[in-house]
A and B are shown apart, each in its own frame.
Chain A
Amino acid sequence: MSEDSLIAPFLADFISGPVMMVVSTRDSRFRATIGRGSGAVYDAPTGLIDFFVSRAQWPEVCEFAVPGAMIATTYVRPTDYLCYQIKGTIADVAPATDTELARAKLYVERIMAVMETINVKPEQLTHSLCVGDLVRIGFHPSEVFTQTPGPGAGARIAPVVEAG
């Protein structure tokens, strides 16, 4: 399977929508880091997923997010737990541009609205959705797994082509 076909249109839309997202890199001890994402977008021409993280809040994730390092990201739709994990190799890391920062702020507004529909209050999430010192981590996706709770969680999947 080529990398280009790995992220089907539905999955590209899914990860750029109002879904909760987390990210992990690893440190020199082979211990995983954890951070929360503040938006993601798939760029079909380059085949890269741009994943946005607050360096201020998640310094370990960003410290070990270097070109060539491996990365795992997970996206879940809070309303029905539809969940995918996308793994890959980091291509480049850079401070977010103003446009990217604005996009991240829009993402935060949208996911807050979704969470309120399932009775999660804004104050429960204000520390989880941070855009301070925002960093863009661009990575080449290499594997996609379904992680919706159930016996099929963790299964490697073919390109996702239809809505769940």
Chain B
Amino acid sequence: MSLALCDLRNAFEGIIPAVIATVDDNGMPNISYLSHVYYVDDSHVAISNQFFSKTTANVRRNGAATVGVVDPCSGLQYLLELQFERAHDAGEVFDRISTHLDIMSSLRGLTGIMKLKTADIYRVLTLRAVHAGLAAAAPAPPPCNRLDRAARVIAAIAAEEDSDTILDAALDGLYDVLQFRHVMVLLPDEDSTVLNTVGSRGYSRYGVGSEVTIGDGLIGMAAATKLPVRIADMGSAHRYVEAVDQGGTLTQIPLPGLSHPHCQVAVPMLARGQLCGAIFIESETPFAYTHEDENALCVIANQLASSLLAAELQAQNLTAVEGAPVPKPAETGTAFRFKYYAFDDSVFIDDDYLIKGVPGRLLYHFVSAYAETGRRDFSNREIRREAALKLPDFKDNLETRLILLRRRLDEKGGPIRLVRPERGLIRVEIDACPSIEVVAS
């Protein structure tokens, strides 16, 4: 069976560094290690040009390069004869490589050192396996049909109308159908500077409300660049999530990450070219996720983005039926302190941080109305019209803010809950009398 370039994608990961050799005009070889070879298409690869200047000079003169790569799973080696075609200093391939390098150098504590100059595109002239020193490892088991499974998850997402059930369909599908055992979905805040976790599966806690700054780490980079990022084998010394988990402040909720991840993938959720969030999966097993997994995740992420966007638009036009006021039930719990900081809309319950931003503002609105009048029901339409909430005129993402708030309250486990008696309507359930304190900005 002849080899195809796509068969070698694991060998391009750089776990065992690749090697590139060239020859100068005098016939002197030059041989360097390089971090990654990037698959472009069935007949082309890209090589990052950061600082191997002699290689670059030789290639620019005669176009010829030979590359050796190692499959980190089987240990098998391959040689590629390459012909230089062009160098890119911008564009999709450049951005993909640059993002990957930025993340890898960050993980290695070499931030800024591995800055990409150009992504050099080569045509692959020949490709062959190197004679194995020992009997070759058993072939990898055939991958499950990712396309089929992704289609089932997409169908489940597309069948839902409500943002909450759309999100659950995505999380359940990723966990149960695609069997990604550690998964998170994150959505951007109102300023699009931070992603908030709105749901997860496979962790000891949901981590709803935990934040990732866009541009930071694997998830933040995928969001900032709108490109998927996959780290096949991080090594035990490089744990992004653990780094994020440390150094929390009063208003930080830790990400629900693995303590010893080896393989991580983050993909952006895109709709109409806009960032709508990110999906993140991780595993304690190196090479747990393939390129096919990454592709499946991208398709599902974009379906999730489109469905959430459609649900948001539809919810803006919903008019909830104004029923009779629901009587305030008897409060059975112990009174609690509800502290609201106006400068960042953060809310603390009995001194425990709960949430901030628009969801915090919404919760303060609900709880103060409840305390003053006993009111419990609020329609989406009136929330949008309430000037005090200072929601943007459009693209307010109210649905996702409410999801974040509702799930955060659920994870907190009381004394406040939000429920949806019908679409377009929010009901506040409070177990005890809140003692509200407002700290002005």
Interface residues of A (CB under 8 A from B): 22-26, 29-34, 36, 54, 56-58, 70-74, 76, 83, 85, 87, 118-120, 123-130, 132, 145, 147, 149-151, 153-154
Contacts and interface: CB of A to CB of B under 8 A. Distances in A.
A154 B113 contact: no
Given A24-B29, A127-B132, A31 B51 contact: no
Nearest to B55: A154
A145 B28 CA distance: 14
B72 A72 contact: no
Given A74-B32, A150-B113, A30 B21 contact: no
A128 B30 contact: no
Interface centre among B16, B29, B72, B133 (most CB of A within 10 A): B29
A57 B66 contact: no
Contacts of B27: 26, 30, 70
Contacts of B28: 70, 72, 87
Interface of B: 15-17, 19, 21-23, 26-33, 35, 50-54, 62, 64-68, 70, 72-77, 79, 81, 110, 113-114, 130-134, 136-137, 235-236
B31 A57 contact: no
Given A22-B31, A149-B113, A154-B51, 19 more contacts: A22-B21, A26-B27, A30-B62, A31-B81, A32-B29, A32-B65, A34-B19, A34-B21, A72-B21, A123-B75, A125-B16, A126-B133, A127-B70, A145-B54, A147-B32, A147-B52, A149-B51, A153-B32, A154-B52
A99 B73 CA distance: 33
A56 B131 CA distance: 7
16 contacts: A24-B21, A29-B64, A32-B29, A32-B30, A32-B31, A33-B29, A34-B21, A34-B79, A36-B68, A124-B73, A127-B70, A127-B136, A149-B51, A149-B110, A150-B51, A153-B53
B72 A124 contact: yes
Contacts of B51: 149-151, 153-154
B12 to A, nearest CB: 15
Interface centre among B21, B35, B114 (most CB of A within 10 A): B21
Interface centre among A57, A127, A150, A151 (most CB of B within 10 A): A127
Contacts of A132: 133
B203 to A, nearest CB: 24
A71 B51 CA distance: 22
B23 A32 contact: yes
B422 to A, nearest CB: 54
Contact of B68 (A22, A30, A154): A22
B31 A23 contact: yes
A75 B53 CA distance: 18
Given A34-B19, A150-B51, A119 B29 contact: no
A124 B15 contact: yes
Given A32-B29, A34-B68, A124 B75 contact: yes
B201 to A, nearest CB: 28
B23 A57 contact: no
Contacts of A34: 19, 21, 31, 66-68, 79
B81 A123 contact: no
A69 B17 CA distance: 27
A153 B79 contact: no
A31 B133 contact: no
A141 B79 CA distance: 26
Nearest to B28: A70
Given A132-B133, A147-B33, A149-B110, A118 B66 contact: no
A31 B110 CA distance: 33
A127 B30 contact: no
Interface centre among A31, A33, A54, A56 (most CB of B within 10 A): A31
A151 to B, nearest CB: 6
B134 A83 contact: no
Contacts of B15: 120, 124
A57 B129 CA distance: 10
Contacts of A154: 32, 51-54
B235 A127 contact: no
A32 B133 contact: no
Contacts of A70: 26-29
Contacts of A151: 51, 113
Report, nearest first, the 8 A-B pairs whose CB atoms are least far apart.
Answer: A130-B133, A32-B21, A24-B29, A24-B21, A24-B31, A72-B29, A34-B68, A127-B75
Given A25-B29, A32-B21, A150-B51, A128 B110 contact: no
A37 B353 CA distance: 58
A128 B77 contact: yes
Contacts of A85: 30-32
Contacts of B29: 24-26, 32-33, 70-72, 87
A33 B65 CA distance: 9
A104 to B, nearest CB: 12
A111 to B, nearest CB: 12
B33 A83 contact: yes
Contacts of A54: 133
A57 to B, nearest CB: 5
Nearest to A83: B33
A56 B133 CA distance: 8
A28 to B, nearest CB: 10
Contacts of A130: 133
Contacts of B64: 29-32
